[in-house]
A and B are shown apart, each in its own frame.
Chain A
């Protein structure tokens, strides 16, 4: 009988990214279509009064901590979803070189934009 050395299994850290991917995907599925329709089409085309999204209104909303939190989630969370998909799509398209660098760039991008928006919101909040 051949004695087989017990195989060593390495745990993946994917659950962290998958969790963010899932949360972002859920948010995107429910919220992004109506958001695009409002901010990108109905308001710019004047079908809804541009006053609906004026500076005063948005600034006062962002000046509350819960408003800032909502904006942060709406803007940044979808990126953790999309960059996760882009990272895996690169593999699907056969881009095999530098997988760990691809990972750093993809999730690093989502992280950088999240920090960028977080800093701006903090700035508005403490203004």
Chain B
């Protein structure tokens, strides 16, 4: 009779805390919670906008609340973390070939950052003008 009895190790539900790489992955996925909340704040802003000037100004004023500032600070950190991870993984999804060689990863990442800076300045310019 076979003495075989393969042992299956259970995966604990906190597996993502056991290795820094997994923790960073979960942090990246977790950024979506804050970006969801931010989108909801914007959606609420559109709702207040549709109700007229008084309602919209109340929404603008609510954004000045210290808790709102604190939330936006945290959300900004997570949003930036999303951007950084998104850009660093971008080369893996790009299958561009130039003269028989795959486009250099660093060029792809750098292009993303340049576009990021350009978009940010553009938005700033639109708001100020």
Whether the pair B119, A59 counts as a contact (CB closer than 8 A) is no
Judged by a CB distance under 8 angstroms, whether A26 is at the interface is yes
Give chain B's interface residues, CB within 8 Å of chain A: 11, 13, 16, 26, 29-30, 32-33, 35-36, 38-43, 45-47, 49-50, 53, 56-57, 60, 63-64, 68-69, 71-73, 75-76, 79-80, 82-83, 86-87, 112, 115-116, 119-120, 123-124, 127-128
23 of the cross-chain contacts (CB-CB < 8 Å) are: A29-B82, A30-B115, A34-B124, A36-B76, A36-B79, A37-B76, A38-B124, A40-B63, A40-B76, A44-B69, A48-B127, A55-B57, A59-B49, A62-B49, A75-B43, A81-B35, A82-B33, A86-B29, A86-B32, A86-B33, A89-B26, A94-B13, A116-B47
Residues of B within 8 A of A40 (CB): 38, 41, 63, 68-69, 71-72, 75-76
Whether the pair B13, A82 counts as a contact (CB closer than 8 A) is no
Residues of B within 8 A of A89 (CB): 26, 29-30, 32
In the complex, the chain A residue whose C-beta lies closest to that of B75 is A36
Residues of A within 8 A of B32 (CB): 81-83, 85-86, 89
Residues of A within 8 A of B120 (CB): 33-34
Question: CA A45 – CA B61 in complex, angstroms?
Answer: 10
Q: Of A6-14, A97-105, A119-127, which binds chain B?
A: A119-127
Number of interface residues of A (CB under 8 A): 50
Whether the pair B86, A116 counts as a contact (CB closer than 8 A) is no
